[in-house]
Amino acid sequence: MGGFMALLVAFLFAVVKISLASSSSVTVPAFLWSSHHDKLSYNGVKEIVNYRIISPKDLAKTVLSEGGWSNLVCSVENLQQSVDIALVFVGRKLQSSDISRNAHMDQDLIDLLKVSFTGSSFSMAFPYVSASDEKETMESSIISGFIENCGHQLEVTNVALMDTCSVEGDGLKKLAGFNAFHEYVGSRMQTKLKGQTDLIVFCNGGSESSEEFDQTQSEGKILSELISFLKQSGATYTVLYASDPSRAIQYSSHQAIGRFLAEGTLGNGSADATSCDGVCRIKSSLLEGVFVGIVLLLILLSGLCCMMGIDTPTRFEAPQDS
């Protein structure tokens, strides 16, 4: 009986250890926002944070359904809900654990994401996007996810790729550098028709970037320049930033993500690395339940062992007559 108890306790602690190890897997964030498309909002909520751990394919599905992009890339019927440019920016450095850090490798990117999330008419945040089991790049997973969930080819005017994007398919345009991007958007605005949306995918490849891009620029500055030109051209746009877990730099520590996005604009506060968000509370509750269950199980087994150890007589002597 004692050997069985020891084996059971060892198994339960192994399960807890495995669950803790799986919860520390590398994840990356994604952000969706739009300042020109009020009807993209889901259930009338301006700022949405999806704390579930999702795959890149699930990210594409959620962007279409809850983010409203199905009206942009899947359907040509809702013409009044279209925007000119749907920009997908695929980064390579930002991880979920980096958001709650006080010091960031790319502070410009963090600042831009924070201002865009809190200042747009509609925005969504996906703090935990896991790596794809199919070993696809983020841009390939997003495009294929769009096609699968639309049920047919994308109903966009053009799909343009920039920098180091690796997506297979016919009819994809390749834009080499900012000059090509400026010319493309400029011609798009001159010949635009109501209800047409162009999908532009930019992939920051770092040292593998084309010579048209300044390799010393951070992701935040590159994304800021792209958005600034869209504003100057007068185009209506929506942006999806997604960090690629296959390109992300591996960090040794995994800190809890803070809810700094809803704290307002810059300078109104700093992220508290010791705070516990929704996912943290769920995990802590599960672990507490596991430990309480272990204690109760040990008490039950100990009681059964004590009861089995009680030696009661099998027969009683008859009382003597007085």
* pLDDT digit string, tens, across residues 180-238: 899 888 888 887 666 678 899 998 875 444 555 555 678 889 999 999 999 998 888 99
138 pLDDT band (50/70/90 cuts)? confident
The residue to which tokens 């050997």 are assigned: 3
100 or 29, higher pLDDT: 29
Of the listed ranges 24-38, 129-143, 243-257, 296-310, the least confidently predicted one is 243-257
Cβ–Cβ under 8 Å, residues 167 and 90: no
Q: Which of 179, 247, 174 is nearest to 213 (CA)?
A: 179
Q: What pLDDT does 126 receive?
A: 93
Q: What is the pLDDT of residues 142-164, one digit of tens each?
A: 988 888 888 777 778 788 888 78
CA 138/CA 91 separation, integer angstroms: 9
Q: What pLDDT does 295 receive?
A: 93
Q: What is the pLDDT of residues 279-307, one digit of tens each?
A: 777 888 889 999 999 999 999 999 888 88
Tokens for 249, please give them.
Answer: 């730099």
Q: What pLDDT does 103 receive?
A: 62
Cβ–Cβ under 8 Å, residues 204 and 219: yes
Q: What pLDDT does 134 receive?
A: 67
Q: Which of 2, 217, 247 is nearest to 141 (CA)?
A: 247
Going through 102-236 in order, the beta strands assigned E by DSSP cover: 122-130, 159-163, 172-175, 198-203
Cβ neighbors of 233 (< 8 A, separation 6 or more) are: 185, 186, 189
Cβ neighbors of 249 (< 8 A, separation 6 or more) are: 92, 93, 95
Cβ–Cβ under 8 Å, residues 27 and 53: yes
Measure Cα distances from 238 to 31, 73, 138, 191, 304 in Å. 11, 12, 18, 19, 64
CA 294/CA 317 separation, integer angstroms: 44
Which of the 8 DSSP states describes residue 45?
B
135 or 241, higher pLDDT: 241
pLDDT at 19 over 50: no
pLDDT at 254 over 70: no
96 pLDDT band (50/70/90 cuts)? confident
Tokens for 207, please give them.
Answer: 């040292």
pTM attached to this predicted model: 0.67
Percent of the chain exceeding pLDDT 70 equals: 68
Q: What pLDDT does 165 receive?
A: 86
Q: What pLDDT does 308 receive?
A: 83
Q: What pLDDT does 255 receive?
A: 37
Of the listed ranges 85-99, 100-114, 137-151, 195-209, the least confidently predicted one is 195-209
pLDDT at 8 over 50: no
CA 87/CA 251 separation, integer angstroms: 28
CA 197/CA 83 separation, integer angstroms: 6
The domain segmentation of the chain, as residue ranges, is 27-278
The number of residues in the chain equals: 322
Q: Which of 56, 73, 63, 208 is nearest to 137 (CA)?
A: 56
